[in-house]
Structure 1
């Protein structure tokens, strides 16, 4: 059913119509049209030129994201095997803009503070190219599981995932990060066209409640950013109270920050200082994506830099507790080392962390993290059980076939491919041990050859249903 002014929340119409003025009819017409769909190619897995040759969908590039493409609504990219191989992430085009504004560089320490469901996390991770550290956090435990899946499918090796309140995270990471993304919770007005059901929750999660959360999140983020670092604040709402208003209040409280131009600002509409009381002129440096001016849903973004002469906090905190890292020669690692010697043709650098039988490879240069709700401290290598090592899906997706001793290759049209993705057992012939199953040269997951069959270790919750 098309969105009309009558269907929109009354408060939303009464506020936005006077602000848009003569643009209001054009804006309404855009809301009544089709929402925009897209995907973002994974440069960790495939180069862009090759992707454009093999893509199974008609593609048109998103102007503000090099790896972004528009999709037709009728396409079903989540069903294609390339999706399971991590070649792309399904993402609304406007949602690609905030990370582009952050200008992440390989080797940086980056925080995605409101990260679930993980789209922007994978975008940041791809830009880091496996170098540096990526911390992804969300305080909603129900949204963490899909984020873990996307991080693993994309092949990110240097990503830690937390389920924490931002203020608690700030105690462990003061002045730690080079870049921070705050994709803040908001009233969601920019998603009315894409998710009409969100209009029903608009009153419950309205601007006033969201503004309070935004204020607290930004305060915590400010503590965690290094002097000279960059923070991007974004929302998917049109509301100036949550956009220019939130930024103005933050700048009044934090004189060490200043707004600076958003990269590719010519593609967007400028911020509106005149939409908030006493609006500072520099609020025009912020940007909006409007559905009647851009091919995307509603979005707001502002780029802030922390002055070099800002307050310098001590290095990341080191609360009391025992060091959780295992030495290379620890007896607990014996079965992992046997697996590595028998099957891997590559070195993996980092520190080992064993938690509840699960073995992780953790990036260096981290503070002691005890006391935080840490969901994933790095790359999940596998599980240790009764003297045996069972490799994890995340390790498979972080490898290239040439880095493993026994890869098995499927072509896109091979019937065994869909059987594997559905969780079915496959014949193994005389093969023994662990095998890395791949679609062409892209890993999909593990199988263990036992008694002439490949026992399927593709994660149960992610298997094809048809």
Structure 2
């Protein structure tokens, strides 16, 4: 890899140890690794249908990156305690005894061995579990900042620079809509916001809004509103050099200075929106001190009431992933407590979509919305149709009665569930967009969702190992495929 000489000169100054400098240079010739973040909310539902998390971890040889112990936490606050960071140099004994450790802890983030998975015929990303939203593919280093934000199930969270959505989905999985927790996931660039929205749809959270706003506009509307804020700021991208030739080509000293100015502009708006006692996390995927430690020092000067909880640098050679820097701050004042509330949902129409969302998202309804909770209906050529997003909702049982009460004029209702195993060839056929055959014994009525329906033909949700893939029209032993064309596998 040809790296800019100026970049190498600047980096050399960061390493006092000659051996570490050589390790850093050598790391550019190594292949990047990827990780996955498990959607524990979908996992809980899949377990009810017989999905075994322990078998999946064993079959895929998943290596935990972080572990969390709940026994030592303050139960009334719902806080999570970070007891072990095992991203660097995963011990062999931990891998050998991981099943015992995972019984005592909740682990979401894993390192994957893609060469091993390939030998088993598995490609992450082209996989039914991925399509069902069971996991999100993410750089292992990028997954480290969110666990240090001490997110509680009831927190009001903001991800200010959110696309493509890895850290947003990581935050959302730590929130509980029944306890009032929610996430506003913002992206300033419209096309990137669209990608963010698609990722949110697959993961299925009803307490997440995706918006396309400027940080300044949000700050004007929501001063002192959020208890947890992440600013994963636009940066010069040096930590992505191994993965992106474009990042190398775009790099310049001028870009570094431009990014540092932009980072301060965004952070000023974040300061305005953070509640007393709240936590702010700042992160980049660059190595530049100008965009990292210098910004951290500036944050401390601008906010004497902020206390630095921690900061960390991750290089290629000392982590499981790519380059990352983050610093976490706590604002003085009393920590916002959990509020007594009863979960309710709101339904509203925007253009050709109808959404159902946890009511705590209502303050964001007038923003430039790409997504507000779950998309439940969309306008078809002749009538309203179930949206693909509805099939992926983690709270489907909770919201479906509301969905049916507000059902627009449409010919068919959701009547059935169809459960197939991952090894069944029809799962891939469905993801390719094909019609598939169905046996009577494989069909289950969904009386727990809709009572008293006995029609022979109707809409069915297709599940793979208890994980929802999407809708189809079931009639006379055939399932007509409703899987969105833009998501279908290509041969």
The aligned residue for residue 124 of structure 1 is 171
Matched residue, 1:352: 347
CA distance in 1: counterparts of 2:148 and 2:462, whole angstroms: 37
Change (3 A) 1:176 1:38: same
Q: Distance in 2 between matches of 1:400 and 1:437?
A: 17
Q: Which moved more, 1:436-445 or 1:382-391?
A: 382-391
TM-score normalised to structure 1 length: 0.79
The question of 1:152 aligning with 2:195 is answered no
In the alignment, the residues of structure 1 paired with residue 250 and residue 288 of structure 2 have an alpha-carbon distance, to the nearest angstrom, of 16
1:102 maps to what in 2? 149
Change (3 A) 1:125 1:299: same
Work out which of the residue numbers 39, 43, 48 in structure 2 matches 1:42: 39
Do the aligned partners of 1:39 and 1:90 also contact (CA within 8 Å) in 2? yes
Q: What pairs with 1:79-228 in structure 2 (closer than 5 Å)? A: 79-131=126-178, 132-203=181-252, 206-228=255-277
- What is the TM-score with the length of structure 2 in the denominator? 0.76
Provide Cα deviations, 1:403-429, integer angstroms capped at 9, x if missing partner: 874101111122221111111223468
Counterpart for residue 444 of structure 1: 469
Deviation of 1:252 after TM superposition, in Å, equals 1.7
Seen in structure 2, the aligned counterparts of structure 1 residues 401 and 228 have a Cα distance that, compared at 3 Å, is: closer
Structure 1 residues 425, 431: CA separation in 2 closer, same or farther (over 3 Å shift)?
farther
Q: Structure 2 unaligned runs (5+)?
A: 67-84, 88-106, 337-341, 401-413, 441-454
Question: What are the superposed Cα offsets for residues 217-256 of structure 1, whole Å, 9 maximum, x if unpaired?
Answer: 1111111111110011011111110001112122222233
Distance 1:127 1:292 in 2: 29
What are the Cα deviations for residues 134-160 of structure 1, in whole angstroms up to 9, with x where unaligned? Answer: 110111112122222221211211110
- In 1, Cα distance between the equivalents of 2:328 and 2:360? 27
Q: 1:399/1:247 Cα in 2 relative to 1: closer, same or farther (>3 Å)?
A: closer
C-alpha displacement of 1:400: 7.4
2:69: which partner in 1? none
1:399–1:256 CA distance, 2 compared to 1 (3 A): closer
State the distance in 2 between where 1:116 and 1:85 align. Answer: 20
Number of equivalenced pairs:
402
Taking only aligned residues, the RMSD between alpha carbons, in angstroms, comes to: 2.8
Measure how far apart 1:24 and its partner are. Answer: 1.2
Distance 2:343 2:302 in 1: 44
Give the CA deviation at 1:399: 4.8
Give the direction of change, closer, same or farther, for the CA distance of 1:215–1:359 in structure 2 (3 Å limit). Answer: same
Q: 1:406 aligns with which of 402, 407, 416?
A: 416
**Structure 1 residues 157, 112: closer, same or farther in 2, change over 3 A?**
same
Taking structure 1 as reference, are residues 401 and 54 closer, same or farther at Cα in structure 2, changes over 3 Å only?
farther
Distance 1:386 1:456, change over 3 A: closer
How far does the alpha carbon of each residue in 1:49-106 deviate from its partner, in whole angstroms, 9 at most, with x for none? Answer: 9334125533222244832222234442111211112111111100101111112111
Compare 201-210 and 366-375 and name the one that shifted more.
366-375
Of 1, 12, 35, which aligns to 2:7?
Answer: 12
Q: Is structure 2 residue 28 aligned with structure 1 residue 31?
A: yes
Distance 2:318 2:394 in 1: 42
Specify every segment of 5 or more residues in structure 1 that has no aligned partner in the other structure, as ranges: 263-285, 313-346
